[in-house]
Amino acid sequence: MTTLVFGKTGQVAHALQQQVQVTALDRAAADLSDPAACFAAVMAHKPDVVINAAAYTAVDRAEEEPALAHLINADAPAAMAQACADLGIPFLHVSTDYVFDGTGITPWAVDAPIAPVSVYGRTKAAGEDAVWAAGGQHAILRTSWVFSDHGANFVKTMLRLSETRDALSVVDDQIGGPTPASGIAAALLTMAQAMQDGQKGGIYHYAGTPAVSWKCFARETFKAAERDVLVTGIPTVDYPTPAIRPLNSRLDCSTLETDFRIKPPNWKADLAKIVSNLVQ
C-alpha cells in the first residue's frame, strides 16, 4: 500500500513516518494554503491511499486569521478529497473534538450535532463537510488532546515549565481524553488498509481513556517524570484565551471499535513511555 501523507513535521505525521514507509509532503512539496497544489500533488503521486495529517492548529491565532485557517482546514482538504475521488482511492482526514460546543458531560457520539464555538472549530467542521461533499471513499477521524515526544503539546509544555517552577495552576473544568499521536497514526493505517480492502468509511472518534481534566493530566505527567510540582486546579474563566475551549471533549469511540476493531488507547501507559524519552 503506497501512502501519501499531507504534513511532515506535525505530531501525527511524524508518528506515521516512524511506523511505516510513507511519502510525507511538507510545505515546499504541497502548500496547504494553495488547494490547487494539494490537488496536483495527489494526482502526480497517484498513491493507493491519502492521509491528511496536516492542519492549521493555532487555535487562538485562528481568531485573527479566519481566512487562512479556512483555506488550510477546509479548502485544502476539499481539494485532496476531490483528487482522491477522481482517482477512486480512499482519503483519511484527521479532525477534532472542537467541532462540538463542549456542553454536557456525555461523550460525543459520531452523529451528535456539531456546533463549533471557535474559528478553529468552525474551519475544521467546514473541512469535514467538504470531504464528505467530494463524494469519494473517505474516513474522518476526530481526536483530542494529542501528545507525543515530538512537536509542541501539553506534556512538553508542562515538563518545560517544571524545570523552573515548583507550582502551577492548571484548568480543571475542561475534560477530555489525552491521545498519543502514535496511536492515532496506527489507527489511521489500520483504517486505510481496511478501506483499501473494501471497508466503506465514515466519521469516527479516537481518543484516550480514561477522560480527565487538564489538571489531572498535568499531575500524571509530573508523576511519570518524578517531579515534585504542586498543581492547583482553576476554572476556565480564570484562564481567558482568545478562542473558546470546549469544556466537554469526551468522545464516544465505540463505532471505531465496531467497524475496525480499534480500541481507545490507555493514555497513561503511553504517557509513561513518552515522558521517559523526554526527561532522558
Cβ atoms of 202 and 258 closer than 8 Å: no
Q: Could you tell me the pLDDT band of residue 27, with boundaries at 50, 70 and 90? A: confident
Q: Which residues are catalytic?
A: 120
Residue 94 has pLDDT above 90, yes or no: yes
The pLDDT of 225-245, averaged and rounded, is 96
Task: Read off the C-alpha cell for 169.
Answer: 495552576
Please determine, for residue 270, whether its predicted confidence score (pLDDT) is greater than 90.
yes
Does CATH number 3.40.50.720 belong to domain 3-149+180-207+250-265? yes
pLDDT class of 280 with cuts at 50, 70, 90? confident
Tell me which long-range contacts 7-11 makes (C-beta under 8 A, separation of at least 24).
7/52, 7/53, 7/54, 7/55, 9/151, 10/53, 10/54, 10/55, 10/57, 10/151, 11/146, 11/147, 11/148, 11/150, 11/151, 11/153, 11/181
Give the whole-number percent of the chain exceeding pLDDT 70: 100
b (16+ CB within 10 A) / e for 6-30: bbbebbbbbbbbeeeebebbeeeeb
Q: Please state the rounded mean pLDDT for residues 139-168.
A: 96
Give residue-wise pLDDT tens across range 34-85.
Answer: 999 999 999 999 999 999 999 999 999 999 999 999 999 999 999 999 999 9
Write the pLDDT tens digit of every residue in 192-201: 999 999 889 9
**For the chain, which residues make up each domain, given as ranges?**
3-149+180-207+250-265
